[in-house]
């Protein structure tokens, strides 16, 4: 009986506690209760909501807005189309700043942030803070370069951050240092008990559009492990995504990386990237139109379509350049209709370590030399259970069972459903049914163009 009474008392206490918390959470309306967004934040306490009415907000109190470490939600009433933070290209001005160890409970929801002009983070700046940014449009902002090497993160700059960016569009921003025209993630070791300890920060990009930025779309370096999920990386002036200088494991899934001028993906300088269930299409670069892996990069690609990319030199689809310390593994991918100006229209590999191509399709690529599908040189190379047009005839190296292993590969038309419309799924009578993507990737491209049209393969010929 005493035990039952004790449980009842605990239950009542929990109910009262919840009621107490909800009683003290308030909504502060801007501009009705407070005249500016900053004034609303200053008046708020943890758990409160600052609700911002429709309008264009500018000037003191409505730009350079600082959350000041508070676990609050700053939300527009009717979304980013109706609620705009206009920084007016004023020097040293951006939309929002997070620099006081904000957590995911610090939420920015439903704003357009434009015309910011600042060092590192033209639109939003996160330093040792991990907010949640959702349902926002960050556009036409600029990160300015100076002698100290700033000018990174035209749209959003994150340092030592595990911020979550979700359901947002980051477009038409400029990074004068070229690092992260759209988004820039960086990290550093953290001092604990007087010692620097290796720490990897884990920010996330989820269901976003990163488009038409000047510089790389997303740039990741140093001690950061980034997840990029269900995101479109389009029409940026340099690579769509770059992982470099000891970046941790970047994980990309269900993404479309399309028509970036400086190439699709790049991994280098002892960084690691894993990409799966994604489209890499119609990107252009000097080396590695779709994917470029530097001598020390590590890359794993699975269940992807790598198609219609162009390299003016080598590796239209994939370029693994003089690998000495890294490795690359490609499984269940389709690499087709890529073009290289010199060699390796589909794949170019020069490795001293390890390269594996397994259960994949390499078909219908072009180059100006005798290696339109695949060019390889080096050791530690394994081709197993693939469909490769022309087989060994024009690969560039003879298998020896040791330095180059070539097993169970075929040279038969994989019978794509409708390649001229970008549908690289296989017909029911394909001889390559166990090869290429084994997931839903492979249908006609679903990406919505932003200011540019998607090309057909016929336009690229």
Q: What is the pLDDT of residue 440?
A: 80
**pTM for the whole structure:** 0.89
For residue 438, report the phi and psi dihedrals to the nearest 5 degrees: -110, 20
Residue 438 lies in a domain: yes
- The CA distances from residue 34 to 113, 157, 338, in Å, are 20, 29, 57
Cβ-count burial of 299 within 10 angstroms (0-12 exposed, 13-18 middle, 19+ buried)?
A: buried
In a domain, 263, yes or no: no
DSSP state letter for 19:
H
184 and 80 within one domain: yes
Q: Domain ends where: 185, 220, 238?
A: 238
Do both 312 and 206 map to the same domain? no
Both 278 and 232 in one domain: the answer is no
Same domain, 72 and 187: yes
Would residue 257 count as lying in a domain?
no
Of the CA atoms within 13 Å of residue 335, those in its CB half-sphere come to: 38
339 in a domain, yes or no?
yes
According to the 3-state scheme, what is the secondary structure of 181-243? Answer: CCEEEEECCEEECCEEECCCECCEEECCEEECCECCCEEEEECECCEEECCEEECCCCCCEEE
Look up the domain containing 117 and give its range.
26-238
Counting Cα atoms < 13 Å in the Cβ hemisphere of 164 gives 15
| Contact of 129 with 157, CB cutoff 8 Å | no
Look at residue 209 and tell me if it is in a domain.
yes
Please count the other Cβ atoms lying within 10 Å of the Cβ belonging to residue 185.
Answer: 34
Same domain? For 278 and 230 the reply is: no
* Same structural domain, 234 and 296: no
273 and 335 in one domain?
A: yes
Helix (H) or strand (E) holding 292: strand 291-293
Identify the H or E element spanning 458: helix 457-460
pLDDT at 452: 40
3 state SS of 349: strand
- Residues 229 and 367 placed together within one structural domain of the fold: no
Report if residue 249 sits inside a domain: no
Domain shared by 223 and 357, yes or no:
no
Q: For position 209, which CATH number holds?
A: 2.160.20.10
The pLDDT tens digits for 304-319 are 999 999 999 999 999 9
According to DSSP, the residues that pair with 98 across neighbouring strands are: 126
Q: The tokens of 261 are what?
A: 């001028």
Are 35 and 151 contained in the same domain?
A: yes
Name the domain count of the chain.
2
Residue 227 covered by a domain: yes
Same domain, residue pair 196 and 273: no
Per-residue pLDDT of the chain (461 residues; tens, 9 = 90+): 455 554 545 554 554 444 444 457 899 999 999 999 999 999 999 999 999 999 999 999 999 999 999 999 999 999 999 999 999 999 999 999 999 999 999 999 999 999 999 999 999 999 999 999 999 999 999 999 987 778 999 999 999 999 999 999 999 999 999 899 999 999 886 555 555 456 789 999 999 999 999 999 999 998 899 999 999 999 999 999 999 888 878 999 999 999 999 999 999 888 999 999 999 999 999 999 999 998 888 999 999 999 999 999 999 999 998 766 778 999 999 999 999 999 999 999 988 778 999 999 999 999 988 889 999 988 899 999 999 999 998 887 889 888 999 999 999 999 999 999 999 999 999 999 999 999 888 665 544 333 443 444 334 33
- Residue 174's nearest CA partner among 155, 146, 150 is 155
In a domain, 18, yes or no: no
46 and 139 within one domain? yes
């Amino acid at each position: 009986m005493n035990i039952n009474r004790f449980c009842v008392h605990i239950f009542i206490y929990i109910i009262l506690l919840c009621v107490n918390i909800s009683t003290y959470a308030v909504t502060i309306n801007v501009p009705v209760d407070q005249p500016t967004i900053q004034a609303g934040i200053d008046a708020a306490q943890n758990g409160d909501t600052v609700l911002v009415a429709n309008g264009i907000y500018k000037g003191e109190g409505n730009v350079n807005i600082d959350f000041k470490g508070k676990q609050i939600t700053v939300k527009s009433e009717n979304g980013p189309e109706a609620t705009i933070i206009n920084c007016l290209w004023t020097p040293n001005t951006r939309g929002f700043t997070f620099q006081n160890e904000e957590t995911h409970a610090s939420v920015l929801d439903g704003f357009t942030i434009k015309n910011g002009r600042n060092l590192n983070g033209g639109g939003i700046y996160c330093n040792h803070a991990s907010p949640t940014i959702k349902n926002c449009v960050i556009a036409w902002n600029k990160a300015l370069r100076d002698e100290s090497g700033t000018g990174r993160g035209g749209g959003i700059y994150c340092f030592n951050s595990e911020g979550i960016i979700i359901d947002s569009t980051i477009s038409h921003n400029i990074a004068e240092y070229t690092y992260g025209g759209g988004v820039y993630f960086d990290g550093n070791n953290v001092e604990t008990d007087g010692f620097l300890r290796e720490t990897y920060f884990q920010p996330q990009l989820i269901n976003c559009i990163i488009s038409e930025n000047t510089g790389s779309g997303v740039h990741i370096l140093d001690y950061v492990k980034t997840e990029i999920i269900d995101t479109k990386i389009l029409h940026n002036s340099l690579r769509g995504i770059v992982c470099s200088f000891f970046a941790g494991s970047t994980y990309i899934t269900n993404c479309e990386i399309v028509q970036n001028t400086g190439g699709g993906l790049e991994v280098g300088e002892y960084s690691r990237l894993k990409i799966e269930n994604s489209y890499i299409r119609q990107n252009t670069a000097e080396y590695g139109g779709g994917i470029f892996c530097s001598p020390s990069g590590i890359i794993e690609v699975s269940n992807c379509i790598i198609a219609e990319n162009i390299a003016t030199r080598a590796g239209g689809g994939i370029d693994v350049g003089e690998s000495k310390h890294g490795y690359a593994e490609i499984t269940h991918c389709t690499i087709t209709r890529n073009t290289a100006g010199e060699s390796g229209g589909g794949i170019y590999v020069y490795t001293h370590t390890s390269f594996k191509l397994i259960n994949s399709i390499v078909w219908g690529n072009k180059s100006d030399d005798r290696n339109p599908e695949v060019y390889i040189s080096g050791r530690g190379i394994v081709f197993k259970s693939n469909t490769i047009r022309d087989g060994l005839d024009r690969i560039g190296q003879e298998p020896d069972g040791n330095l180059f292993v070539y097993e169970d590969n075929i040279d038969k038309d994989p019978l794509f459903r409708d390649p001229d419309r970008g549908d690289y799924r296989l017909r029911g009578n394909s001889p390559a049914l166990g090869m290429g993507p084994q997931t839903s990737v492979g249908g006609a491209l679903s990406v919505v163009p932003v200011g540019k049209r998607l090309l057909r393969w016929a336009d690229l010929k």
